[in-house]
Chains A and B, each alone.
Chain A
Amino acid sequence: MSRYFDFHVSFDWKGFSSEGYAKVFYPNIITGGNRYDAARINIAYVSSPEKPLPSRYDLVNFKGFAVNVDQLADVREKRRAVEVCVADVKQAIFSGRMHQARFFCNVLRAYKVPFVMTSGATTIYEVKSPREMAFIGEMLGFTQKQALLSLSDTASIILESKGWL
């Protein structure tokens, strides 16, 4: 049985093992003045496609699902991953921008960019089990297997590169 990880949980969640996760992480968001923190998972928020990526990061989140092919190629070369956050998908659905999220995920698949699905949960009501993440991945154009692999294998590669696994 695979071990699943959630890299973006913004509250103290003790019951993650009952949902099927091996470990969840409270990330360090690199935006504005924040710097890379070696003790945490670092997620770089890129608000505009024109802005350059920071020099060090573990995951990168493209705000508003903006596509920049050069930056995606850079992420793939550095063996890092793109964050596909369920909280962003939810926001896209409620603001009628679901097509943008789907297009972004199609580009990820076309360019074979590694991605990690995260819940982005701020309360217990927003957490998603790995199976639910797979359903959401299917909705975005991935297969259920691809979505589950992003939670286990891709996440494991990132943890290994940090020396935590």
Chain B
Amino acid sequence: MGVKKSLRTVFRYIKLELLTSRPEFASGLEERLRAHLQKMLGQLSAPKIKLIPLNSDSENTYLLRCDSASFMRVRQALLFFYDKDYRLKLHKSSGTIKSLNEPELD
């Protein structure tokens, strides 16, 4: 029996770009982001995140998946992520991966 539709977790995705001169550090990015979210939002209330590399676009572009309820808090916390090894640039956010792969219009 499947999970009732209203009880399913709705995900949102934040497209972000890693601007770093040292690509070898990229593997530790997810851990750093988790630590930052825990610091900003509290250890107990920090939402679960998953970092998905976007190979089709470029090597340093990722999608950060989080549940829609905590989406705004995650994005606000990411705006204040300062790390000398990992410089992040946030792009647009969406409820679907497909729309994030489309080119951005400003």
Contact = CB atoms under 8 A, between A and B. Distances in A.
Interface of A: 1-2, 19-20, 90, 93, 124-126, 128-129, 131-132, 135-136, 139
B89 A139 contact: no
Majority DSSP secondary structure for residues of A touching B: helix
Interface of B: 40, 75-76, 79-80, 82-84, 87, 89-92, 106
8 contacts: A1-B106, A19-B89, A125-B84, A125-B87, A131-B90, A131-B91, A131-B106, A135-B75
Contacts of B83: 125
A1 B75 CA distance: 25
Nearest to A136: B79
Most chain A beta-carbon contacts within 10 A, residue among B75, B79, B82, B87: B79
B93 to A, nearest CB: 9
Contact of B106 (A20, A128, A132): A20
A126 B80 CA distance: 9
B82 A131 contact: no
A129 B90 CA distance: 8
A125 B82 contact: yes
Contacts of B92: 131
A139 B79 CA distance: 10
B61 to A, nearest CB: 14
A132 B82 contact: no
A93 B89 contact: no
A19 B88 CA distance: 12
B80 A93 contact: yes
B86 to A, nearest CB: 9
Nearest to A20: B106
A128 B79 CA distance: 9
A101 to B, nearest CB: 12
A124 B87 contact: yes
A129 B106 CA distance: 12
Nearest to A2: B106
Contacts of A125: 82-84, 87
A19 B40 CA distance: 26
Contacts of A20: 106
A20 B106 CA distance: 10
Contacts of B80: 90, 93
A1 B106 CA distance: 7
